[in-house]
Chain A
């Protein structure tokens, strides 16, 4: 199964729609609840990051025989220091975003904790690609 989602960077009220839709599809496929939960959490964090930091982008989610791969692509400012961004508690989110309950600096650490593999390709001024993999 292959699904493509456009992630709107302007509308916070629909943040999580891609993750919710993909979670429903995984349930229909009969994927184990533990795998679904891990994918849903990691995917939501990446979706929120794409909106907050990337200004929107795209998501491609694929279920193959042995794994689930979800790739988020944005054309935002990129990540200057990946090691810093991976630290729990570090965030560059604005005060406005923090008031909504985001910006705890848990996004990338959560993705890492809940996936079997995570890859980040980023270039300052060009954008970021985050790929998360959960084995079946």
Chain B
């Protein structure tokens, strides 16, 4: 599934300027402890979190996340989107909880990645 398709299916808000080449998504991970995410999330995962500080950009970039989804309508801290745009990291937002966003992903992918 492409990021553009994922955004459309979920009705998520795209906070960054672009979907940056419309990356392919492969799997989903949720977590807020950055080192935990860094060590456990896999390349091309959707990363769902309520953590909104500037460090999420580096974690997404270095772990190879396909995109970040900010859950529960959290607003990114100042500078996050600018930095994400500079590093071609896609940031999305939804009012749904992390649980509901995981359930969305499960539904979108017909369970084949879980």
Contact = CB atoms under 8 A, between A and B. Distances in A.
B79 interface: yes
Interface string B26-44: 0000001111101100010
Q: Label chain B's interface by main secondary structure.
A: helix
Q: Label chain A's interface by main secondary structure.
A: helix
A33 B44 CA distance: 12
Contacts of A17: 58
Contacts, number: 72
Contact of B61 (A12, A16, A107, A113): A16
A40 B39 CA distance: 11
Interface stretch (B15-23, B48-56, B98-106): B48-56
Given A13-B79, A37-B64, A113 B55 contact: no
Contacts of A106: 33, 35-36, 38-39
A100 B55 contact: yes
B62 A41 contact: yes
A37 B43 contact: yes
Contact of A101 (B32, B39, B43, B64): B32
A91 to B, nearest CB: 9
Interface in A1-54: 12-13, 15-17, 19-20, 23, 33, 37, 40-41, 43-45, 48
A23 B89 CA distance: 15
Given A13-B79, A41-B38, A101-B55, A20 B33 contact: no
Identify the 7 closest CB pairs spanning chains A and B, nearest first. A16-B58, A106-B35, A104-B33, A101-B34, A110-B39, A40-B62, A104-B35
16 contacts: A13-B83, A16-B57, A16-B61, A19-B58, A33-B43, A40-B62, A40-B63, A44-B59, A101-B32, A101-B33, A101-B51, A101-B53, A102-B33, A102-B55, A104-B34, A110-B38
Interface of A: 12-13, 15-17, 19-20, 23, 33, 37, 40-41, 43-45, 48, 100-102, 104-107, 109-110, 113-114
